[in-house]
Structure 1
C-alpha cells in the first residue's frame, strides 16, 4: 500500500480514484508504527531495558545511514540529455553538486528524512521509541500520551487542515520528526502492556469504520477547503483506521500463517527501503502510455524490491539493512 501511495497508479485515469487509493493506503505507515511500538514493549524484559533501547537505536541508525547513502549516490534524477551534454562523469558530478546544495538548503529535511523522503519513517520511529522508553523509565508510561496527542494534533492543523480556519502554516514538514509517530508507537506499546484483546467482530468493525471515516473526512476537507499539497496525510480518522488493522492482527494472530504473504513479511523493511529506487526507474523505463505504466509501476516495484531484498538478505553484511 505504501508503494501504491508513492506510485500514484491511477493519477492519469481519475483524480477521485487516485485520491481514494491514497487515502485507503494511509493506514500503512501508522500501522507500522503501532506494530513497532507493540513489539518493542512486549519483549520479556519490558521497556525498561537500556541495552535493548541502545541496540534498537543502533539498528535504526545503520539502516537509515545505509539507505541514505544509497539514495545519495544513485543518480536517479539524471536524464539522458544531461549525460549527453556533460558526459557521464560530468553529469554525475553535476548531480552530486545538486544533492549537496539541497542538503545545505534543507538541513531539517536532511536530518529527519535523509536523502529520500520515505526514509522519514526510520528517524521518526527512533524518536518515538525514545520518547516512549523515557516515559516508561520514569514510571509514567501512559503519560506519554500527554505529549503524543498534542504533537499529532499539531501535525493535523499544519498539514491536511492547513487550508481550514484552524490551519496553521509553519516553515517545516511536521510529518517528519516525532509529531506523527509518537502517538502510534505509544498506542502499540500500550496494547503490549495490556491484557485486553479485541474480539474479531470489534476488530473488523473498527477497521471498516476507520476506512469509511478516513475517506469521508479526507474528501470533506478537500471539497470544502481545497486540497493541500501532495500527501500522504494522517488525520483524525487515521487513528482508528490504523488501529483497526492492529486489532485484526491481535484478534486473529494466525491470519495468513503458512502463506506466501507471511514469508514475504520477513522482507518488509527491505521492500520499504528499496521501493523508491524501483518506482523511479520503472516510471522512467516502461515504454507504455502514462495511464498504463502508472498502473503497472506499483506491482512491478513491489516484486523487484522484494527480489532485491531477498538477494541482499543472502549476504551477512547487507542482510541487516533489509530484515
Structure 2
C-alpha cells in the first residue's frame, strides 16, 4: 500500500480479514437454528460483507497520488508482485486436495480431476478467479486499477466516476438483480472490474479531492448503507429463486465508505503493536486462509464435532494457523512468490 501507515486503516484491514475468515468458515450456519433457520449465522454472514469493499477503497486511497503522476509504470510495479502471488497460489490450490473423504476412498487424482473439470466448465470466469474462488480479489483489484490508469493516461480523468458507476450498475443488474432484469454477463460479476473499479474509485476520489466526513455523519452513512444492504438482501430473497446472500448490493458502497470515513476520522483507532504486526500479514493471511478453512471443515466433519463448538473455534484456529504459515513462508527463499 503506502509507506505512510495510518493506524486506523491498519486496524480496519485486520478486522476485515477476521470478518472474511468468519464468512468463509460458515460460522453458526448449521447451528443454532431458530425456526429451522440459522439466523445468527445468516446475520454474521451479511455483516462480514463490508470487508473486501473496504480493502478496495483503502487501496484506491493510498495508490491515488503515485498512480495519478506515474500512471502505467507505477501500475506495473504495483501489479507485478501481486500477479506473481496470484499465479503461485493458484498453482498450489490446483495441486492440493480439498476433500479428505474422496481422497481416502477414491484417490487423489479422482478428487483433483473433479475440481479441475469444475473450473474448466467456466474457463473465462476461472481466469478472473484463479485456482480457488477467493483469489478473485487480485484480478479484481488489478482490473479496476487498470481501467482507472488507462483513463488517466488518455487524459480522461473526468470519465473515471461515470465509467466506474456504469460498471457497478451493470455488475448488479447482471449479478444479484439478474433474476429481475434477466441480464447476463460472460463472467460472474463479482469478479473482474465491475465492482472493484467503483470501490477503488471511491478511495481514489476521496484522496484526490481531499474529502472528509465528520465521525457522526460517517456512522450515519455506515448504518444507512448497511440498512439498505440488508433491505435489498431481504427483497431479493423473496423473488423467485432468490437468495439472501450477496457480495455487493446498492447499499454496499455507502456502507463501506461510511466505515472508511470512520477510520479516516479516527486515525489513531487501533494504534497498538499487535495491530501493526498483524497488518503486515493481511495479504498473506487472505491468500492462504481458505485452504486452512477447507481443512478445518474436513477435520470437524471427520471428528463429528458439535457445529456450535466448531464455529466458536473456527476463526481463532484459522487465523492463528494462517499467521504461522505466512511468517514461516517469510523465512524461506520462495517468500516473494507467496507473500508480500
Question: Same fold by TM-score, threshold 0.5 exceeded?
Answer: yes
- Return closer, same or farther for 1:167/1:248 CA change in 2, 3 Å cut-off: farther
1: CA distance between counterparts of 2:336 and 2:214?
37
Contact kept in structure 2, 1:22 and 1:232, CA below 8 Å: no
Residue 288 of structure 2 corresponds to: 274
Q: Distance in 2 between matches of 1:63 and 1:143?
A: 31
Q: Which residue in the other structure is 2:104 paired with?
A: 83
Per-residue deviation, 1:249: 2.0
- 1:78-111 deviation digits (Å, cap 9, x = unpaired): 42x54355xxxxx223334334433432211220
1:11 maps onto 2:35 in alignment: no
Partner residue in 2 for 1:168: 183
State the match for 1:73 in structure 2: 95
Q: Which residue of structure 1 aligns with residue 118 of structure 2? A: 102
Match of 1:88 in 2: none
Q: Hey, what does 1:29 align to over in structure 2?
A: 52
| Corresponding residue pairs, total | 314
Structure 1 36/317 Cα, relative in aligned 2: closer, same or farther at 3 Å?
Answer: same
Q: CA 1:227 to 1:28, structure 2 compared with 1: closer, same or farther past 3 Å?
A: farther
* CA displacement at 1:237 relative to structure 2: 0.4
Instruction: Deviation per CA, 1:188-245: give whole Å up to 9, x if none.
Output: 11112122222222222222222222223222332x3256458442000001111012
Counterpart check, 1:215 vs 2:230: yes
> Which residue is 1:56 aligned to?
78
Does 1:40 pair with 2:63?
A: yes
CA contact under 8 A between 1:33 and 1:184: conserved in structure 2?
A: yes
Q: Mind listing any 5+ residue stretches in structure 2 that lack a counterpart?
A: 1-18
1:177-188 equivalences in 2 (<5 Å): 177-188=192-203
SS of residue paired to 1:307:
helix
- Cα distance change of structure 1 residues 289 and 118 upon mapping to structure 2, 3 Å threshold: same
Q: 1:131 to 1:176 in 2, by over 3 A?
A: same
Q: 2:271 matched to which residue of 1?
A: 257
Contact 2:128–2:136 under 8 Å retained in 1 = yes
Compute the displacement of 1:257 (Å): 1.4
TM-score (norm 2): 0.85
**Structure 2 Cα separation of the partners of residues 78 and 285 of structure 1:** 9
Q: Alpha carbons of 1:262 and 1:227: their partners in 2 closer, same or farther (altered >3 Å)?
A: farther
Question: Cα distance, 1:46 vs. partner?
Answer: 3.4
Q: Secondary structure at the residue paired with 2:281? A: helix
The answer as to 2:145 corresponding to 1:129 is yes
> For 1:276-323, what per-residue CA distance to the aligned partner results, in whole angstroms no more than 9, with x for missing partners?
111111111133123331342233212211221122223353156323
Contact preservation (8 Å) 1:31, 1:246:
yes
- 1:291-302 maps to which residues of 2 (within 5 A)? 291-302=308-319
Aligned to 1:233: 247
Aligned match of 1:289 in 294, 306, 311? 306
Aligned-CA RMSD value: 2.2
- Quote the residue 1:310 is aligned against: 327
Q: Is the 8 A contact 1:69 1:115 kept in 2?
A: yes
Q: Name the CA distance, whole Å, in 1 between partners of 2:21 and 2:320.
A: 11
Question: Is contact 2:233-2:243 (8 Å) kept?
Answer: no
- Give secondary structure in 2 for the equivalent of 1:299: helix
Q: Partners of 2:133 and 2:125 in 1: how far apart?
A: 8
Q: What TM-score, normalized by structure 1, do the two folds share? A: 0.89
Residue 269 of structure 2 aligns to a residue whose secondary structure is coil
CA drift of 1:146 comes to: 1.9
The alignment partner of 2:68 has SS state of coil
- Tell me, in whole angstroms, the C-alpha distance in 2 between the residues paired with 1:51 and 1:247: 30
